[in-house]
Structure 1
Amino acid sequence: MVAKTMGCGMSMSKFTQMLWGAALGCAVACGSAFAITANPNVSMGKPLYVAGAVANDLDPLVYTDGKLDSNQITIVNDFALNVGQGPSKLFITWDTRGDEAWASQDYVYAQGCLHNLAIGSTLQNFKIMTSANSTNGVDGDWQIAAEIGESGAASRGIAIDFEGMSWFRILASTPAIYLEEVSAYDISNGGDDTWFFMGTSITQMGMKQYAVDSNFAQLIHARFPSYYPAMIRGGVACVTSQGVADALKYYAEYAGNVKYWAIEMGTNDAWVGNDYTVEQFTRNMQMIIDTAKAHGITPIIARMIATNPVYSGWQVPQEFLDAIDKLVRDNNLIPGPDFYNYFLAHPELISEDGVHPANPAGGAAMHRLWAEAVAPLYMNKKPEPVIGSNAGTIALKKMHDVKMVLPKVTVDGRSISISRVNEPVNISIVDLTGHIVWKGRIGNPADGSLESSNLLSEVPAGNYIVKIRGATTSYKTRISIR
């Protein structure tokens, strides 16, 4: 049998062995730097309660079965799970479905695609509460574990204290109309098996949209039964490395509390007709790597998927693949999956547009390739941490142990008042089509005021959304003007 060769002259089998050997060698040699601590899934098989009753839209267990399926969505603004007593800390994740992208253009600019997530596509302005004595997710005594303001991500995870509790409940100001999956993981022992899959439409489709028989977490669990990775799906169609680099504030805010960023990036940079250069791509990817490391996150970068030139009319330039390989070497990263050579050898797994993975087989291959690439990490036990160090759990703690005081918006007829703002902010009121009908600002240097009342005499009666944004403030709520 003759090994297939890559553009640089190295055989594909030899390259694959090199990547696998590097990943295994690094996992063994680096020890504490790359070992994973398990965070068992404690929500699997538990029924979802909505407003005090077991969800009856479908089988209530489909919302906690660890699999995404667009046919299992439900409308909720008050939902709960009884995971039982035992864990002292939980990492709670959820997926909603709407535009399919992880975030709208308000947060991540994607050249060529307008991601206008419908109202209710994401959980907004919500509290996570816990109880030790509830019987239905509503009654009993509850305490607030976390308060979250505006949240632009369709998939997210939050760490909470859970000592002595058995229920958690999420209560949002407005319904999430496309809730698809809820999961909870026991991180009492510093579990850091938490993954954010950053990427383009290739990740959006392959890792979220396509219903596959076995996803990344299930594949890892089947091979290593003590582990069940928490998955946060972050694909955004049409996004380039520049779009991600420009939106790193939001990536860090909404996905900065996981241990791993599994990154698929570059296809839109390299797309025929685009004028992005390899140098720009490299600079942007280095920014992404640096941001991940600054948040205690381990970035793992895949080699971008090959196209099928029969349909696409173009192929990924070797220079972009070389740039990824160099970034991995220079930053001493764990090598990610080699999507390029695998899909090059299996064009039947590429869709008829010549660029995206086929549904569902191409998506299933992506899940499997990610699982195979990182499997060596699960073969090592994490050493005891250095005394006095919390490096193994700091990424989970630092984003969500902070309790936030949310802005207060009050409407009386045509008068709107905004208070509880601790910094200068810009305010915009938009109608339900996204058109801005009013703009203002609190905390102008002239008066220093951090409260404001305004008469909206020229705004027609109706339902609107108020957006409040500042350096550290990001809040959104719905109002009615009469």
Structure 2
Amino acid sequence: MKTWKTMLALTAAWGVLAFSHAIVPNKLVSGGLPAYTGTGSTDYLTDGFLTNWKSSSAKEIAIHVGQGPEKLLVNWESYGDCAWAVDFTSGCGHSGVALSNFKILTSANSSDGFDGDWETAATIQNNPVMARGVQIDFAGKSWFKLQSEGDVGQILEIEAFDMTDGSTDTWFFMGTSISQMGLKQQETDSTTAQLIHARFPEYTPAMLRGGIGCINSTEVVEHLGDYLEYAGNVKYWAIEMGTNDAWGGGDWNLSTFVANMQTIIDSAKAHGITPVIARIIATDSAKAGWQIHPRFLEALDSLVRENGLPQGPDFYTHFLEHPEWIGSDGVHPEANSGGKAMHRLWAEALSPLYEKSDSSETALAPNFTRFAVPQVSVQGKKITLSNVEKNASVRLVSVMGHVEEIRPHGDSFQAHVASGRYVLLVHEINRQISIPVSVK
């Protein structure tokens, strides 16, 4: 906590200048690769989705990314109850086991992820959060492995990014239960990172989810030291905050909220982090019985303008216009449409940061037509796809990670599998998309 406070006055001005720098890509080098656990292999730990029934509790997980990168950023996401941390708020209880005590090892000569010579690239102790990234040296290596000492909880996803060129396409999505439920849930066709990649194939954003149910801006400030310790090595903080501060529809807490948000902004700038702030999501007042006070929205607009920040998504207007995106409690995003909308709205808002300076393309339309992602429909065992490249490779994978069907191309096929839940892996030239499906 002392570190970030003492740096604010010295480096806040530098933080403003950093906003103008172009994003340097960090290539995803682990997407769709097998993850070896000692008892077999699976690709659901690298499929780009956080489906909670596809997790691993293996104490050793190895991935062969091949030689090339000199530095890697290794990200992981654990499940718990989807909250980023279990004890940052007193508003409600959270549970979950974080991947807390482990090493990241590297090898240049392993053949299966377990034999060969291994070196310790990083040692992590007492990690309390469910999503984090660690950068390691990787020159001359081809394998990395997570080796845990104790209970690892439920690991949902592991990603490795090539950071050799000083890459800056790294994101932490700070938020409340709105983000916990909207961004870290399984009912979505594509994540913000995948949508950005679909629009800008050169980029594969490294995305960490940091939503915590019940947290307010005061509690975030109280834990800023923790946020910076565990999510301070990214370039961007995508922030959704304010629902709990504005709860009930009044404005009595406005001045505290504004002061807290300014502290968060200043702290981020002081550490070379660019904040991008969303407008507070609207409620369905007919169900919730209250609406966000307009002064909170005006205050956020002023903070963005006065601090020279990139414009975040306007959750308020879009969810006000689409109450069907809001769940039965009138406050949180609906598990399917609401989560999808949040990912798309973030992708739309962040896209200008990826535009080249000489780009002649116009701003994105609010119907997200530029984010054409594969769509799938299932009738019985017939699977039909749209928005898929002609020569795309399609694989149907079981929840255990076994490839059940392979189709080299085509828009539809008959799956010769037992009824149940599967994942459709679509490999195109510049992207890979994973889509959960249920075959009957």
| TM bracket (short chain) | 0.7 to 0.9
Partner Cα distance (2:332, 2:99) in 1: 29
Q: In structure 2, do the counterparts of structure 1 residues 32 and 153 end up closer, same or farther at CA, with 3 Å as the change threshold? A: closer
Partner Cα distance (2:339, 2:75) in 1: 21
- Are 2:166 and 1:190 equivalent residues in the alignment? yes
In the alignment, what sits opposite 1:408?
none
Q: 1:49 aligns with which of 9, 13, 36?
A: 36
Give deviations 1:40-83, integer Å, cap 9, x for gaps: 11001211111x3433xxxx111101111011011122111100
- Are 2:81 and 1:99 equivalent residues in the alignment? yes
Q: Is the 8 A contact 1:47 1:54 kept in 2?
A: no
271-280 or 224-233, larger mean C-alpha shift: 271-280
Aligned length: 343
Partner Cα distance (2:222, 2:172) in 1: 18
In the alignment, what sits opposite 1:116?
95
Deviation of 1:30 (Å): 7.5
Partner Cα distance (2:132, 2:305) in 1: 30
| Matched position secondary structure for 1:355 | coil
Partner Cα distance (2:333, 2:274) in 1: 26
Amino acid in structure 2 at the alignment position of 1:54: G
Q: In structure 2, do the counterparts of structure 1 residues 40 and 355 end up closer, same or farther at CA, with 3 Å as the change threshold? A: same
In the alignment, what sits opposite 1:443?
none
Q: In structure 2, do the counterparts of structure 1 residues 273 and 345 end up closer, same or farther at CA, with 3 Å as the change threshold? A: closer
In the alignment, what sits opposite 1:296?
272
**RMSD of equivalent CA atoms:** 1.8
In the alignment, what sits opposite 1:463?
none
- Are 2:256 and 1:280 equivalent residues in the alignment? yes
Partner Cα distance (1:310, 1:210) in 2: 27
Q: Is the 8 A contact 1:269 1:276 kept in 2?
A: no
| Matched position secondary structure for 1:81 | strand
- Are 2:56 and 1:74 equivalent residues in the alignment? yes
Q: Is the 8 A contact 1:263 1:302 kept in 2?
A: yes
Deviation of 1:34 (Å): 3.8
Partner Cα distance (1:370, 1:159) in 2: 25
Give deviations 1:133-179, integer Å, cap 9, x for gaps: 01121211111111111101101111111000000011111131311
Deviation of 1:192 (Å): 1.0
In the alignment, what sits opposite 1:322?
298
Partner Cα distance (1:280, 1:273) in 2: 15
Amino acid in structure 2 at the alignment position of 1:127: K
1:22-421 correspondence runs (5 A)? 33-50=20-37, 52-55=38-41, 60-105=42-87, 108-111=88-91, 113-117=92-96, 121-272=97-248, 277-380=253-356
Deviation of 1:325 (Å): 0.5
Deviation of 1:275 (Å): 8.2
| Matched position secondary structure for 1:86 | coil
Partner Cα distance (1:86, 1:94) in 2: 21
Partner Cα distance (1:245, 1:83) in 2: 38
| Matched position secondary structure for 2:152 | strand
Q: What's the % identity of the aligned pairs?
A: 53
Q: In structure 2, do the counterparts of structure 1 residues 179 and 274 end up closer, same or farther at CA, with 3 Å as the change threshold? A: farther
Give deviations 1:444-475, integer Å, cap 9, x for gaps: xxxxxxxxxxxxxxxxxxxxxxxxxxxxxxxx
Q: Is the 8 A contact 2:249 2:293 kept in 1?
A: no
Give deviations 1:253-293, integer Å, cap 9, x for gaps: 11000010000000000001888611000111111111111
Partner Cα distance (2:50, 2:304) in 1: 31
| Matched position secondary structure for 2:238 | strand
Partner Cα distance (1:319, 1:37) in 2: 36
Q: Is the 8 A contact 2:283 2:326 kept in 1?
A: yes
| Matched position secondary structure for 1:103 | coil
Give deviations 1:299-332, integer Å, cap 9, x for gaps: 0000010000110000000010011011101111
In structure 1, list runs of 5 or more residues that go unmatched: 1-28, 383-482
Deviation of 1:213 (Å): 0.4
| Matched position secondary structure for 1:135 | coil
Partner Cα distance (1:70, 1:115) in 2: 16
| Matched position secondary structure for 1:267 | coil
Give deviations 1:391-444, integer Å, cap 9, x for gaps: xxxxxxxxxxxxxxxxxxxxxxxxxxxxxxxxxxxxxxxxxxxxxxxxxxxxxx
| Matched position secondary structure for 1:71 | coil
Q: In structure 2, do the counterparts of structure 1 residues 81 and 178 end up closer, same or farther at CA, with 3 Å as the change threshold? A: same
Q: Is the 8 A contact 2:250 2:293 kept in 1?
A: no
Amino acid in structure 2 at the alignment position of 1:311: K
Larger Rg: 1
Give deviations 1:87-129, integer Å, cap 9, x for gaps: 0000110111012110011xx1242x11233xxx211121111
Q: Is the 8 A contact 1:95 1:180 kept in 2?
A: yes
Q: Is the 8 A contact 1:306 1:343 kept in 2?
A: yes
Q: Is the 8 A contact 1:31 1:380 kept in 2?
A: no
Partner Cα distance (2:250, 2:150) in 1: 40
Q: In structure 2, do the counterparts of structure 1 residues 97 and 32 end up closer, same or farther at CA, with 3 Å as the change threshold? A: closer
Partner Cα distance (1:53, 1:87) in 2: 28
Deviation of 1:35 (Å): 1.4
Partner Cα distance (2:331, 2:293) in 1: 14
Q: In structure 2, do the counterparts of structure 1 residues 31 and 246 end up closer, same or farther at CA, with 3 Å as the change threshold? A: closer
Give deviations 1:370-405, integer Å, cap 9, x for gaps: 0000101111269xxxxxxxxxxxxxxxxxxxxxxx
Q: Is the 8 A contact 1:125 1:151 kept in 2?
A: yes
Q: In structure 2, do the counterparts of structure 1 residues 32 and 254 end up closer, same or farther at CA, with 3 Å as the change threshold? A: closer
Q: In structure 2, do the counterparts of structure 1 residues 30 and 375 end up closer, same or farther at CA, with 3 Å as the change threshold? A: farther
Q: Is the 8 A contact 1:34 1:377 kept in 2?
A: no
Partner Cα distance (1:101, 1:189) in 2: 32
Partner Cα distance (1:275, 1:31) in 2: 33
Partner Cα distance (1:190, 1:347) in 2: 42
Q: In structure 2, do the counterparts of structure 1 residues 245 and 281 end up closer, same or farther at CA, with 3 Å as the change threshold? A: same
